[in-house]
Chains A and B, each alone.
Chain A
Amino acid sequence: MKKVAICQLDGRIAPLYDTTPEFAVFSIDNHGRISERWTVNVSGLTSAEQTAMLVRLGVEFVICGGAKQECQCHLREHNIRFVDNVIGNVEDVIARYLEGTLRSGEVIN
C-alpha cells in the first residue's frame, strides 16, 4: 500500500505547494489501483506544517504545481518524493501517475 497526495484547488492541481487549500490523498494498493481516497484541509498551515501532516498520514509521494526551494527541502528532509510544476485536473493527473507516465513540468488538460 502506498499513499500519494495531490495539491488540489477546485478539482485541479493547486498552483503552489505552500498555499494549497487541501490535499487529495490516494491509497494505492499493490496492484496499482486506488483503494481509498480522501481530502485533507490544510488551509492556514505553513509549508513545514503541511509536510509534517503528510508524514503523519504516511504519504510517500506528492504531486504539486510550483514548489519553492524551501518547500522542496521540507519534502526531501522527510524522504517524500515529488513531481512538481504539474498543471491539469486531479483525475487526469492521478491517472497519468498510475500509468507511470507523469513527469515534472507537464501540462495536462
Chain B
Amino acid sequence: MVFIKDCDQILDSVAVGVFSVDRELTIQFFNAHAEAITGFSKQEALGRKCYEIFRTERCLRKCSLRKAIETKSRIVKLRNVILNKENLEIPVDITVSVLLDRDGNVIGGVESFLDDSVRVSLEKEIRGSLCFQDVVGRDDRIRKVFDVLGTVAPTDSHVLLQGETGTGKDLVARAIHNASRRRKGPFIKVNCAALPAQLLESELFGYRKGAFTDARTNKPGRFQLAEGGTIYLDEVGEMPRDLQAKLLQVLDEKEFYPLGSTHPVNVDVRVIASTNRRLRKMTADRGFREDLYYRLSVVEIEIPPLRERPSDIPLLIGHFLAEHARLRGEARHEVTREFMKTLLNHDYPGNVRELKNIIEHAVILAGTRKLDVQFLPAYLLNPAGSEAMAGGSGGVAGEARERTALKTALQSHGWNRTEAARALRINRTTLWRRMKKHSLLPGEPT
C-alpha cells in the first residue's frame, strides 16, 4: 500500500481510472480519473466497498476483482457497464489484478478502467446503419430503405415490396413484422405464384365443410391463421384477377367469406405484399386491379438489385462468411484477392440470394482452405452462362440468350425443374415464371 500512496501523483495524472482495494474489497486508493468516470469523489469512495462506488450488475455474482484476488491472477480487457453517480450507464473496459506484498502474500487488488462510451456508441452506429434486423447493406439506396423500414415497421400500414428475385424481399417482410407491434403474432407467408388459382383461394381464405367434393371438414385459411399478425403475399402480381377482388374486400372491410360460407370472418391482419413485376404498369394493362394496387401500396418500398449497389458486395461476403462460421462453429474463411475480384465483377442476376449460394458453394468446397477462384461455381469463371441468365433487361438478344439458357438447362436435367433451377442458380418459382414467359412449359411447342 505504501508503494501505491507514493505513486498517487503519477496515478492521478494518467487518463485511466484506477482504484485499489484491500482483501475485504474496501477501497484504499481512488485516482482523479476514477472520480471523473464514476462521479464519486475520492472522499466519498475511500473506505467504501468497491461495489458501492463502482456499481455494475456483475458485482454481486461475478466480481472480477474478487476472482483476481482469490486466484492471484490478472484479468485483462473485460467489457462492463457501470452506473455512475448521475445514474447514467457508462460502458467501461476494465483490467483487474491481484496486489501482492514483497513476500508474495495477497494484500488486495487493483482495477484500472477506461471510459468506453465513444467506442460503444460508434459500434452501435455502425451496426445500426449497416443493417435492419437481418437485412445488410451500406449503399445509400439500401440505407434509405432502412430509414423507411424503421419508420413504417411500427405502424399498421400495408406495405408493397418491389424488387427483383433474390433481392431479399422475404427478409425485409420478416424484418418489418419483427419490428412491429405484431411481432408476437404469427407471420404467415403465401407464395401466390406457387399455387393454382382454385387452390390459392382455399389456401388464403379457407373453406367450409361441403364447399366442394373433397371438403370434408372446415379448414381455416392463411388469413385466419395470421390473425393478430402479418400475412406476407409473395409474388402478388401473379394473383388471378377474381381473387384480387376478394383480397381487396379483406383490405377494405377486414372481413371475407371462406369458400362455401355465407357468414363473413373478421380478421385483424397486416398485409405485406411483394412482387418482382411492375404492378403500376400491370394496372395500365389491366393485369392487376388498380384499386387493389393503391390499397396495397400505402407504403411502397423498392429494394435495389445487387448490381446497382456493388459497394455492398464485400460487406455481404463478410456477412455470409461470418454467418457460416457461426453456424458451423468454425473460424471465418479468408478470401484471396482474385476471389473477391471475380465476385465484384459479376452482375448477379440472382441478386443477394445468388451471392449467398456462391459463398456457400465455395466454403463447402474449400474446407479449411482460403477461398480462391477455384472454389467458385463454374459459370462464374465462364461468363457466358451468367450473362444468359441476366435476361429480362437485355433486349431481344438478351431474351434469346435467356431462352436458350433455360432450354439447355432443362434439357440437360431431363426437364427436372428443381435440378435446372439449381444449375441456373435461380429458384423454382422464377424458373417456372421464365419458362412461362418463353413458352417453355411442358406441352407447349419449343
Q: Do A and B bind each other?
A: yes
Report A's interface with B, CB cutoff 8 A. 9, 12-13, 15-16, 18-19, 21, 65-69, 72, 84-85, 87, 105, 107
**In contact, B83 and A16 (Cβ under 8 angstroms):** yes
10 pairs from A and B in contact (CB 8 Å cutoff)? A15-B51, A16-B59, A65-B52, A66-B55, A66-B85, A66-B87, A67-B87, A87-B48, A105-B85, A107-B48
- Please provide the 9 A-B residue pairs with the shortest distance between their CB atoms, ordered closest to farther: A66-B83, A15-B55, A107-B44, A66-B55, A87-B52, A15-B51, A15-B52, A16-B55, A19-B57
**In contact, A68 and B60 (Cβ under 8 angstroms):** no
Interface contact tally, CB-CB below 8 A: 39
Distance between Cα atoms of A107 and B41 in the complex (Å): 11
The reply to whether the CB of B347 lies closer than 8 angstroms to some CB of chain A is no
The reply to whether the CB of B116 lies closer than 8 angstroms to some CB of chain A is no
Distance between Cα atoms of A66 and B143 in the complex (Å): 38
Distance between Cα atoms of A65 and B44 in the complex (Å): 14
Q: How far, in Å, is B336 (CB) from chain A's closest CB?
A: 48
The reply to whether the CB of B93 lies closer than 8 angstroms to some CB of chain A is no
The residue from A13, A69, A84, A87 contacting B44, defined by CB atoms under 8 A apart:
A87
Q: How far, in Å, is B26 (CB) from chain A's closest CB?
A: 12
**In contact, A68 and B44 (Cβ under 8 angstroms):** no
Give every chain A residue within 8 A of B49 (Cβ-Cβ): 12
Tell me whether chain A's interface is mostly helix, strand or loop, or mixed.
mixed
**In contact, B52 and A12 (Cβ under 8 angstroms):** yes
The residue from B55, B57, B89 contacting A65, defined by CB atoms under 8 A apart:
B55
Q: Which residue of A lies closest to B83 (CB)?
A: A66
Tell me whether chain B's interface is mostly helix, strand or loop, or mixed.
mixed
Q: How far, in Å, is B330 (CB) from chain A's closest CB?
A: 36
Give every chain A residue within 8 A of B52 (Cβ-Cβ): 12-13, 15, 65, 87
Q: How far, in Å, is A74 (CB) from chain B's closest CB?
A: 14
Q: Which residue of A lies closest to B44 (CB)?
A: A107
A9-B60, A15-B51, A19-B57 known; A85 and B87 CB under 8 Å?
Answer: yes
Give every chain A residue within 8 A of B48 (Cβ-Cβ): 87, 107
Give every chain A residue within 8 A of B55 (Cβ-Cβ): 15-16, 65-66
Mark each residue of chain B from 25 to 54: 1 if its CB lies under 8 Å from any CB of chain A, else 0. Answer: 000000000000000000010001101110
Distance between Cα atoms of A41 and B48 in the complex (Å): 24
Q: Which residue of A lies closest to B58 (CB)?
A: A19
Q: Which residue of A lies closest to B60 (CB)?
A: A19
Mark each residue of chain B from 280 to 313: 1 if its CB lies under 8 Å from any CB of chain A, else 0. Answer: 0000000000000000000000000000000000
Q: Which residue of B lies closest to A20 (CB)?
A: B60
Q: Which residue of B lies closest to A84 (CB)?
A: B87
Q: Which residue of B lies closest to A87 (CB)?
A: B52
**In contact, A68 and B89 (Cβ under 8 angstroms):** yes
Distance between Cα atoms of A107 and B39 in the complex (Å): 13
Give every chain B residue within 8 A of A66 (Cβ-Cβ): 55, 83, 85, 87
**In contact, A15 and B59 (Cβ under 8 angstroms):** yes
Q: How far, in Å, is A96 (CB) from chain B's closest CB?
A: 16
The residue from B44, B60, B85 contacting A21, defined by CB atoms under 8 A apart:
B60
Give every chain A residue within 8 A of B85 (Cβ-Cβ): 66, 85, 105
Distance between Cα atoms of A16 and B49 in the complex (Å): 13
Distance between Cα atoms of A6 and B55 in the complex (Å): 17
Distance between Cα atoms of A85 and B49 in the complex (Å): 14
Distance between Cα atoms of A78 and B13 in the complex (Å): 46
Give every chain A residue within 8 A of B83 (Cβ-Cβ): 16, 66, 68
Distance between Cα atoms of A14 and B85 in the complex (Å): 14
Q: How far, in Å, is A65 (CB) from chain B's closest CB?
A: 7
Distance between Cα atoms of A53 and B139 in the complex (Å): 49
Give every chain B residue within 8 A of A107 (Cβ-Cβ): 44, 48
Distance between Cα atoms of A18 and B87 in the complex (Å): 12
Distance between Cα atoms of A69 and B53 in the complex (Å): 18
Q: Which residue of B lies closest to A15 (CB)?
A: B55
**In contact, A69 and B51 (Cβ under 8 angstroms):** no
**In contact, A68 and B59 (Cβ under 8 angstroms):** no
Q: How far, in Å, is A9 (CB) from chain B's closest CB?
A: 7
Give every chain A residue within 8 A of B60 (Cβ-Cβ): 9, 19, 21
Give every chain A residue within 8 A of B57 (Cβ-Cβ): 16, 18-19
Distance between Cα atoms of A9 and B87 in the complex (Å): 19
Q: How far, in Å, is A82 (CB) from chain B's closest CB?
A: 11
Give every chain B residue within 8 A of A72 (Cβ-Cβ): 87
